[in-house]
Amino acid sequence: MKPLILILCTGNSCRSHLAEAILRAAAGDILEVASAGSKPAGYVHPLALRALAEIGLDASAHHSKHLSEFLQRDVETVITVCGNADQVCPMFPGQMNRYHWGFDDPAHATGTEDEQFAVFRRVRDEIRRVFEAYAAGRRDGVKSTVPV
Query: Which residues are known catalytic residues?
Result: 9, 82, 89
Question: What is the CA 49 to chain-centroid distance, rounded?
Answer: 13
Q: How many CA atoms lie within 13 A of 45 on its CB side?
A: 23
Helices vs. strands in the chain: H and E counts, helices first:
4, 4
* Cα torsion through 108, 5, 101, 59, rounded to 10: -30
> Cα separation of 120 and 99, whole Å?
22
